[in-house]
């Protein structure tokens, strides 16, 4: 009975196929694969149109033949769902990246980057090369300066002032003090420095530092001639320094104390001079017991004094360094007919100036 019912259904379906014409897709009732939208292949049974049906076959035979010629079933893809999920995820990630890039472009890429602080390096102090002090040349050594002495205060001698520059013989400059009735001091000796004795007219300037005077007649050689008690000695002298025609410094005064020997004196400062005027302000009789020569004379020393001047010296002022009137034997005999020959002249054995060339 079932076979008859089944045959009736097939015959009905066949008749429908023949009438309608298009192929009929019949699902296999025995297949375990359910048709769904997941992409799984659904076994299909394709029944060709009546154009391909053998008219000699009965409907039942034709249906059996169609079943035997069913299209082979396709193998389902088990990874299809995962692939679709992965595709959607990749699409989403790409879309998010595009949106982020657009946001950066529209909004300016976020806040401007902060410029890192510039640390200015501390200025290194410049290294200054310390100049080395060159070896300074040795100061020039002072030496005796050559000069030419002249005078018109004691014309005719008795001796020439050139004896002041002689160091080889026992000589001295002896100058007369005038007639017996008017024997006074105040003679002037003019000194002109020389560059070379072969050019006596040339003007030569020297930087002077010191000087030395030997008053009276003192022997210059060992055991030489000594006329100490025969002439007065210059005790007070004034030096006026000139450079050309200009006064180069204040007058310098020297008191020899009538010592027996050279009296050195240091000038208050360096003096550039080309000539000197030496004034004999005061003379005295030489003491019988000669005073020894001093080597400590200088500015402020015992051998250097600043007398009031020529006029006061001549008139016998109240200067405490000057002898009171009437106490000097020479002055006591002057103008009173005294005839002691020692009072007629004074002597200076040597005069020296020490310095160096200004160049």
Confidence at 203, pLDDT banded by 50, 70, 90: confident
Residue 238, in any domain of the structure? yes
The residue ranking higher by pLDDT, 345 or 45, is: 345
- Which pLDDT value is given to residue 115? 67
CATH number of the domain enclosing 344: 2.60.120.260
What pLDDT, in 10s, does the model give residues 254-281? Answer: 999 999 999 999 999 999 999 999 999 9
Residue 97, in any domain of the structure? no
Q: Identify whether residues 317 and 210 lie together within a single domain.
A: yes
Q: Identify whether residues 265 and 348 lie together within a single domain.
A: yes
Residue 105, in any domain of the structure? no
Q: Identify whether residues 152 and 58 lie together within a single domain.
A: no
The two counts, helices (H) then strands (E), for the chain are: 5, 15
Residue 251, in any domain of the structure? yes
Q: Identify whether residues 155 and 49 lie together within a single domain.
A: no
**pLDDT for 218 beyond 90:** yes
- Which pLDDT value is given to residue 75? 65
Q: Identify whether residues 56 and 190 lie together within a single domain.
A: no
What pLDDT, in 10s, does the model give residues 83-116? Answer: 788 888 888 888 888 888 888 777 765 555 566 6
What pLDDT, in 10s, does the model give residues 276-321? Answer: 999 999 999 999 876 666 544 443 333 333 333 333 333 333 333 3
Domain boundary among 32, 50, 68: 68
For the chain, the average pLDDT equals 72
**pLDDT for 148 beyond 70:** yes
Q: Identify whether residues 167 and 265 lie together within a single domain.
A: yes
Strand partners, 271: 208
Q: Identify whether residues 163 and 247 lie together within a single domain.
A: yes
Q: Identify whether residues 16 and 158 lie together within a single domain.
A: no
Q: Identify whether residues 349 and 216 lie together within a single domain.
A: yes
Residue 117, in any domain of the structure? no
Total domain count, the chain: 2
Residue 119, in any domain of the structure? no
- Domain extent for 12: 2-68
Q: Identify whether residues 221 and 348 lie together within a single domain.
A: yes
SS3 of residue 214 by DSSP: strand
- Which pLDDT value is given to residue 137? 64
- Which pLDDT value is given to residue 8? 62
Distance CA 260, CA 287 (A): 9
Q: Which residues contact 127 (CB under 8 A, 6 or more apart)?
A: none
Domain boundary among 38, 68, 98: 68
Supply the DSSP string of 268-284, one letter for each residue.
Answer: EEEEEESEEEEEEEEEE
- Which pLDDT value is given to residue 88? 81
Domain boundary among 68, 100, 122: 68
Query: What average pLDDT does this structure show over 160-185?
Result: 87
Residue 104, in any domain of the structure? no
- Which pLDDT value is given to residue 309? 37
Residue 91, in any domain of the structure? no
Q: Identify whether residues 184 and 291 lie together within a single domain.
A: yes
Q: Identify whether residues 9 and 158 lie together within a single domain.
A: no
Query: What average pLDDT does this structure show over 146-160?
Result: 89
Token digits for 246?
A: 């200009």
Report the phi/psi class of residue 47: left, alpha or beta, with left for phi > 0 and alpha for psi in -120 to 50: beta
- Which pLDDT value is given to residue 304? 39
- Short-list 214, 207, 224, 42, CA closest to 141: 207
CA distances from 292 to 63, 260, 289 (A): 178, 5, 9
What pLDDT, in 10s, does the model give residues 16-65? Answer: 666 655 554 444 545 444 444 444 444 444 444 444 445 555 555 554 55
Tell me which long-range contacts 336-343 makes (C-beta under 8 A, separation of at least 24): 338/180, 339/180, 341/230, 342/229, 342/230, 342/231, 342/232, 342/285, 342/286, 343/177, 343/183, 343/232, 343/285
Report the phi/psi class of residue 244: left, alpha or beta, with left for phi > 0 and alpha for psi in -120 to 50: left
């Amino acid at each position: 009975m079932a076979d008859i019912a089944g045959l009736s259904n097939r015959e009905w379906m066949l008749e429908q196929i023949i009438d309608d014409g298009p192929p009929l897709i019949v699902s296999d009732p025995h297949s375990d694969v359910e048709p769904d939208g997941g992409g799984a292949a659904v076994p299909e049974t394709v029944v060709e149109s009546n154009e391909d049906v053998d008219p000699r076959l009965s409907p039942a035979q034709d249906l059996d033949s169609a079943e035997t010629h069913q299209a082979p079933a396709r193998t389902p893809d088990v990874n299809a769902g995962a692939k679709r999920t992965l595709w959607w995820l990749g699409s989403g990630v790409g879309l998010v990246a595009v949106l982020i890039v657009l946001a950066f472009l529209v909004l300016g890429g976020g806040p401007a980057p902060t410029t890192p602080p510039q640390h200015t390096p501390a200025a290194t102090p410049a290294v200054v090369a310390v100049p080395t002090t060159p070896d300074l040349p040795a100061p020039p050594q002072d030496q005796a300066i050559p000069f030419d002495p002249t005078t018109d205060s004691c014309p005719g001698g008795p001796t020439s002032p050139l004896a002041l520059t002689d160091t080889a013989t026992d000589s001295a400059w002896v100058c007369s003090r005038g007639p017996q009735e008017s024997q006074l001091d105040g003679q002037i000796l003019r000194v002109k420095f020389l560059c070379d004795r072969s050019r006596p007219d040339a003007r030569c300037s020297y930087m002077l530092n010191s000087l030395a005077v030997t008053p009276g007649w003192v022997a210059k050689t060992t055991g030489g001639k000594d006329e100490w008690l025969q002439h007065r000695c210059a005790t007070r002298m004034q030096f006026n320094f000139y450079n050309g025609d200009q006064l180069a410094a204040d007058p310098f005064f020297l008191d020899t104390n009538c010592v027996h020997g050279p009296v050195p004196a240091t000038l208050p400062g360096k003096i550039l001079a080309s000539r000197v005027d030496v004034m004999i302000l005061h003379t005295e009789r030489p003491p019988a017991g000669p005073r020894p020569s001093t080597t400590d004379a200088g500015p402020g020393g015992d051998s250097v004094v600043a007398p009031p001047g020529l006029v006061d010296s001549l008139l016998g002022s109240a200067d405490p360094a000057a002898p009171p009137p009437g106490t000097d034997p020479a002055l006591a005999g002057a103008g009173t007919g005294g005839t002691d020959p020692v009072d007629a002249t004074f002597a200076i054995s040597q005069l020296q100036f020490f310095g160096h060339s200004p160049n």
